[in-house]
């Protein structure tokens, strides 16, 4: 068995693809340094992430795939599903080994699986834009916590930066313990030492909340109640269009 050990970054994965062709070897497993010792009596190759090698692979992919499918590979990688990196690795190798565009190779199991996962990740990213809820903090930053199935936050930063360019905001992934902060000019990745909010609901602590935020939340709840037409309430359809796993973040759903 041949195992490639890499840093679990997308750049590292593309470097692994480069190494694979250079060594004329295809790994059976892709693991991080932490799990390297789990494979006894196994041939190990350590991949050193190299920006130049990764860039050569990326440029090669862009020559043979459409922009949509190049981005899809990154989306699939962000799904964090078991052995998804090996799936993306095999897809990339297949791209370079083929004399034609493999995007529509519907008879290929690797191609089909990449398409399926890519669609799931894209839908999850769209839900982030639809269901995220901001709360105003005491220091005038609009804060939102979220727990997406996949690591989709990097895919939506441009959307939020364009949509909310006139205010400071921080969106935080409670599952992966990181977020992005926008300061009117740039977006920065952040890690919070003190989480002054509920990881279960994303709700800010009272001391961290702006003085008028609580009032706005109560007004929104009242508006939601008045707007709703009781005779047209359809719980089943409502849950279908607005999955229950998002309710904990929605002000109108809070008691």
pLDDT per residue over 59-77, tens digit each?
Answer: 999 999 999 999 999 999 9
- In the chain, % helix, strand, coil (3-state, to 5) comes to 50, 15, 35
pLDDT at 66: 96
Residue 235 pLDDT > 80 = no
**pLDDT tens string 180-193:** 999 999 999 999 98
Q: Which residue has the tokens 């930063």?
A: 157
Dist CA 8 CA 20 (whole Å): 16
pLDDT at residue 255 is higher than 70: no
DSSP-derived secondary structure for 9-65: SHHHHHHHHHHHHHHT---SEEE-GGGGGG-TT-EEEE----HHHHHHHHHHHHHHS
State the Cα angle at 145 between 140 and 149, rounded to 5°.
155
Q: Which two tokens stand for residue 186?
A: 């740039």
Q: Taking 80 as the threshold, does the pLDDT of residue 231 lie above it?
A: no
Q: pTM for this one?
A: 0.87
According to DSSP, residue 144 is labeled E
Provide the 10 A C-beta neighbour count for residue 114.
25
Q: Where residue 41 falls among pLDDT bands split at 50, 70, 90?
A: low
Q: Give pLDDT, residue 248.
A: 85
> What pLDDT score does 94 carry?
97
Query: Is the CB of residue 248 less than 8 Å from the CB of residue 203?
Result: no
Using a pLDDT cut of 70, give the percent of the chain over it. 98
Q: Which of 2-11, 97-106, 129-138, 224-233 has the lowest mean pLDDT?
A: 224-233
Sequence-separated (6 or more) residues with CB below 8 Å from residue 56? 18
Backbone angles phi, psi at 159, to 5 degrees: -60, -50
- Residues 143-158: what's their mean pLDDT? 95
Instruction: Count the Cβ atoms, other than its own, within 10 Å of residue 131.
Output: 17
Is the pLDDT at 164 greater than 90? The verdict is yes
Average pLDDT over residues 128-134: 90
Across the range 1-25, mean pLDDT stands at 96
Domain ranges of the chain: 2-124, 132-253
Task: Kindly state the percentage of the chain with pLDDT values over 90.
Answer: 67
Decide if pLDDT at 10 tops 90. yes
* Apex 181 CA angle, 186 and 213, nearest 5: 125
Instruction: Report the SS3 class of residue 166.
Output: coil
């Amino acid at each position: 068995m041949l195992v490639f050990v890499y840093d679990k970054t997308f750049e590292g994965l593309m470097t692994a693809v480069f190494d694979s062709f250079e060594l004329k070897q295809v790994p059976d497993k892709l693991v991080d340094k932490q799990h390297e010792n789990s494979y006894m009596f196994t041939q190990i190759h350590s991949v050193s992430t190299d920006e130049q090698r990764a860039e050569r692979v990326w440029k090669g992919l862009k020559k043979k795939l459409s922009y949509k499918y190049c981005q899809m590979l990154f989306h699939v990688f962000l799904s964090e599903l078991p052995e998804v990196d090996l799936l993306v690795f095999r897809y990339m190798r297949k791209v370079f080994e083929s004399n034609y565009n493999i995007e529509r190779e519907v008879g290929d199991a690797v191609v089909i699986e990449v398409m399926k996962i890519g669609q799931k990740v894209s839908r999850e990213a769209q839900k982030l834009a639809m269901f995220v809820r901001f709360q105003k903090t005491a220091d005038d930053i609009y804060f939102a916590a979220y727990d997406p199935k996949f690591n989709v936050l990097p895919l939506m930063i441009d959307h939020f930066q364009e949509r909310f360019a006139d205010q400071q905001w921080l969106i935080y992934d409670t599952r992966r313990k990181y977020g992005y902060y926008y300061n009117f000019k740039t977006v920065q990745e952040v890690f919070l030492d003190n989480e002054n909010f509920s990881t279960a609901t994303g709700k800010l602590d009272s001391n961290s909340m702006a003085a008028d935020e609580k009032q706005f939340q109560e007004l929104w709840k009242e508006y939601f109640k008045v707007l709703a037409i009781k005779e047209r309430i359809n719980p089943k359809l409502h849950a279908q269009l607005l999955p229950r796993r998002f309710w904990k973040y929605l002000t109108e759903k809070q008691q």
